[in-house]
Structure 1
């Protein structure tokens, strides 16, 4: 029992470390990658492709969760990577929009301001200190709100189902009579 608990703690530490490392890399990339281009139809296509990539990543993670001996930890890891990636994509779009069409938001946006705005929209807190003023900015924000609902509702449910399937698979693979002298069922 103690060995299993130690193994679980070790897996928890590894999962937390991988999650924190991935988030640190994503945030570093957001701040370090050049974003000097204008917000154009290509930007919209890249954003849509990014959303599709997040959906594909989520689908892959769901498969990994269902196969993992630690499905709950794998689901935590999946959300810890998916949500920041999603928010950073929208922060990038807001930043590019404000720099190509100043006045799209209620104040000029730095990368940090754009990240703050995207995070307040994602969390639905909406402090109101930064608001979308132009129609394209409002459409972008509306799009984020719609995908937020999908990500939080549908993705969370899919992840929960994957965890449940993974735990069932793991529990079925463990012989209930192991170690008690009873022969395994045929």
Structure 2
């Protein structure tokens, strides 16, 4: 695997300035692909369910209180992950997505590692996520990073729920990570 320098920019709520457009494009691709995999293909983002269109149209509002990490290469958004605000010692990873044309470069691992580091720094003891059962590559990544299948908290058929300790562990990225200046 060839590693290329990638910057993971962490943006707190309200700080998604110049990256909004790149994040919106990643979210649109994520939701379009997910709906197609569920057998509900949409021709474009305008045909997606309202809750997904809201994320694409206004990520700052949709992810108010959350932390967004973007993987950038040459200033172009190539991947994203959203971490919910900690509540009761828990946080949830949502919307992990890497542009398919740029997979295999370690960006997803770096994004999850950044999310886990953020969680640990904010006192999170348990990090959880849900993933569709057909996303076997994502499940394998999560397992390599220490996530284990747990009892479901989401009744949607086909979702696998996973969790792990919020403390740093497996998954240290093998390439440089530069953090944005607004990261505490």
Please identify which structure carries the higher helix content.
Answer: 1
TM range (shorter): under 0.3
